[in-house]
Structure 1
Amino acid sequence: MSCNGHGASMQVRGLRYGPAGIDPLIDGVSFQLDPGDRLAIVGPNGAGKTTLLRCLYRALKPGQGSVLLDGYDIWSLDPRDLARRVAVVLQEMPADFSFTVEDIVTMGRIPWRRSGWLPAIGQRSACAASEKAAVWHAMEHLNVVNLAKRGFATLSGGEKQRVLVARALAQDPQVLILDEPSNHLDIRNQLEILDLLRGLGITVITTLHDINLAAGFATRALLLHGGRAIAEGLPEDVLTEANLSATFSVKAHIHATGNGSAPNFSFALRA
């Protein structure tokens, strides 16, 4: 496993999803990512961010539109092939796993096993060594090696989040999809996680509530409201005062840093 891998391209065309009889939860969303792009999806609660992610990793099948991974519709791919190329870290935190941290991270290698949970007998030693190296490599990057033998259920929320990201990293994906990866993390850990993701060299798609984190992390941004894309493109073109004020019903103000860094945002309620 390499923690500086190669990303895949993703093209989303006219995505529409929603149960029959109600307004669509996602309606007409399109965007394109080049390998190695980092997309931050932002928007108010109920904007459709998590639903969009579920369409991107094939948990939900859109009623219209398509999601292409390196030019192939994800619904045409073998599930194991898709699992080898796309890893997911969900917002929902598992409450009680009766596994150790090492067990959880090792689960990220399942798509690479030739015969399910165990490799063929003749390949077991070589596969086990390679797998263990990949698992420990991922744990080292997420700084959870010291937790390897701890029960997952005994960890704090922040520790659990780091372990779940390590599991996704052990999967050696080309695309990493995360739903609010900064949840449960203090400021330092938020910055460390995003800095790690920035250096992976793979395509990253994540939802983020914190606009300042999104602006500093993303190479592309998608602003959602009511299931529709309000704006998509470079962060400086999407995360504008006008767009953010209208989408979140607040007064947004951008503070230029003047040192080449991402701008800082502040928000206030409208009078």
Structure 2
Amino acid sequence: MRGDTQACERPGGPEPALAEPLPPIALQAAGPRARTEHWLSRFVRFLGRNLCREFRVVVAEPVRALVRRGLSGVALAIFTAVAVLSLHAVDQTRSGATLVRLVSHVRGDIPLPLVLLRTPLSLFVPARDMAALPGIPVLFLGIALAQLVLGPARTVLVAYAVSFAGTLSARVMIALGPRWWGLPPEAAHVIDTGASAAVVGLFAHVATVKRAPVLFLFAVTPTVLRSLHKPNLAGREHLVAITVAVLLGLLATRRNPALRDGASGA
């Protein structure tokens, strides 16, 4: 893997077998076919360099960090997966469901101070309309990647920030009503739990910080499309979470440009 990433970074590494770029004067005098080959060559070179750089910062470096630190490098992902599965098992019993409801359920009609207390635990309770097991691999991957790239403290901060932003925005949209991009009053009674907003927010944040458009395309864009296609409470919260995650990423890289191409978080 090290050799592959070095080949991507090395200026003299393998290049696509296309015509060399033409000098500006020669380009003006060249025919349409030569100009097409010139721009195609530049595009392929640009694409190749960026794909190699993205592979290095979101795959190679995190894997090296995982090999170096072992399971401690993904401790947050392990803890979250175990907590989700455990709370899901507890929620299947009558007394357990009552306990889970009292300590973790968040709704728009609950007082805000109680929401603040319940939000951290609500992230570990699977949403009622989603099965717990199928979402575990994506949850684990998102949190593990974030911890390896951002570090544990920043991962927790971003996950909670985007989740809480989604919860607060839902209350605002319910107050606005069904017009002006709001939500109907019955949305206030919908149980709002699950880590999906936090996970997609972490993917969006990592993609923004590391300038990884391919990661954003495959890990974030499907959620955006689903949320636009089905504009319910969860969909609106996901859009808010992604927006906040991107803004936090832009702010972080503006304050510390070295984060874009720096090593994975400690």
TM over 0.5: no
Q: Which has the higher helix share?
A: 2
Q: If the length of structure 1 is used for normalisation, what is the TM-score?
A: 0.27
Instruction: Say which structure, 1 or 2, has more relative contact order (CA 8 Å, 6+ apart).
Output: 1
Larger Rg: 2
Q: If the length of structure 2 is used for normalisation, what is the TM-score?
A: 0.27
